[in-house]
Amino acid sequence: MPGEHSSKQYDQDLEDIRSKVLLMGGLVESQFLAAVTCFRTGDAEQAEQVIKADDAVNRLEVSLDDTCSHLIVKRQPTANDLRTVMATIKVITDLERVGDEATKIARIAKNMHDRGTVGTLTHYETVRVIANCASEMLHDALDAFARLDQNQATRLIAQDEVIDHEFRSIMRNAITYMMEDPRTISAALDTLWVAKAIERIGDHAKNIAEYVIYVVEGKDIRHTDYASVKLEQNG
């Protein structure tokens, strides 16, 4: 009976952590969407709100890291339980970095507004596709983590190449703009930094998906062609 009670308490502790991680995920998802919106509209006030929202995300990261550390010391999980906790710690780190990238986008949007360069080079249209792709990836990664859905995780890992391809295209176009008209250099660079931040958010979403595979299958698939091979096997 004591062992059963302990096991139930551990499961409850882990579920509490998972709920808070998903809360953190919802915060950074909203932060990213708001950052992209103010890059489109040039709303300096909204950009400032996005920047301030990062404090809440940072506090959650510190709190969750501490909770996970205490769980490891107190419960001493092994095998799959330990993998779950370790993967969760990594997810927390990636979510905090998504918040950082969203903050970068908001700062750039605010700076462009202050310089009066909003609208130059149709800057939002330049990143619209990559922003939508990264937003979907982040949402799907959080969903896969919530349900430990390895199939969904595998599919979205493969999607990262779409974002990488889109970023390379944006970079080539930005270079062309700057070469043809040096007056566009400042705005083109701003747009390029935003695209890079979005591309990094896609990377973090991919990382979260890889942690789902790690929890479910016990495989560390980082830096492998796991997704491509798996999708081919499944037809």
Taking residues 116-130, report their average pLDDT: 77
Q: Is 211 exposed, middle or buried (0-12, 13-18, 19+ CB in 10 A)?
A: buried
pTM: 0.91
Mean pLDDT of the chain: 90
Residue 216's pLDDT band, with cuts at 50, 70 and 90, is very high
Q: Tokens for 136?
A: 């979907």
What per-residue confidence (pLDDT) applies to 150? 94
Nearest to 195 by CA among 105, 116, 95: 105
Mean pLDDT of 38-51: 93
Range 141-156 average pLDDT: 95
pLDDT in tens, 173-184: 999 989 998 888
